[in-house]
């Protein structure tokens, strides 16, 4: 079983409205929190599959995760 860690995010009201709207559709989860976790997981999976991560201290620049 995977250990879960809670993090706190501050997001705009527009983001909350969109998360709620997506939850109402039920495609990514049934609550705004479930939707947020699912979307974050999906984006992180994409980053890992593409093998890219940002260069610390250099916004907008990426480098391979594995060399």
Residue 3 is predicted with a pLDDT of 79
CA distance 11 to 40: 13
Alpha carbon separation from 5 to 8, 35, 37, 45, 61 (Å, rounded): 10, 17, 12, 18, 28
Whether pTM > 0.85 for this model: the answer is no
Structural domain range at position 30: 13-64
Averaged pLDDT in 10-residue chunks for the chain of 67 residues: 84 97 96 95 80 66 62
H helices of 1-67, in order, are 13-25, 32-50
| 56 belongs to a structural domain | yes
| 1 belongs to a structural domain | no
CA distance 55 to 61: 6
Residue 45 is predicted with a pLDDT of 82
| 7 belongs to a structural domain | no
| 58 belongs to a structural domain | yes
Alpha carbon separation from 37 to 1, 42, 46, 52, 67 (Å, rounded): 17, 9, 14, 20, 29
Count of structural domains within the chain: 1
């Amino acid at each position: 079983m995977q250990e879960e860690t809670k993090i706190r995010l501050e997001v705009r009201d527009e983001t909350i409205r969109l998360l709620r709207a997506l939850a109402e559709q039920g495609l990514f989860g049934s609550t705004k929190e479930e939707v947020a976790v699912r979307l974050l997981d999906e984006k992180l999976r994409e980053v890992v599959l593409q093998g890219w991560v940002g260069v610390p201290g250099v916004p907008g620049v990426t480098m391979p995760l594995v060399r």
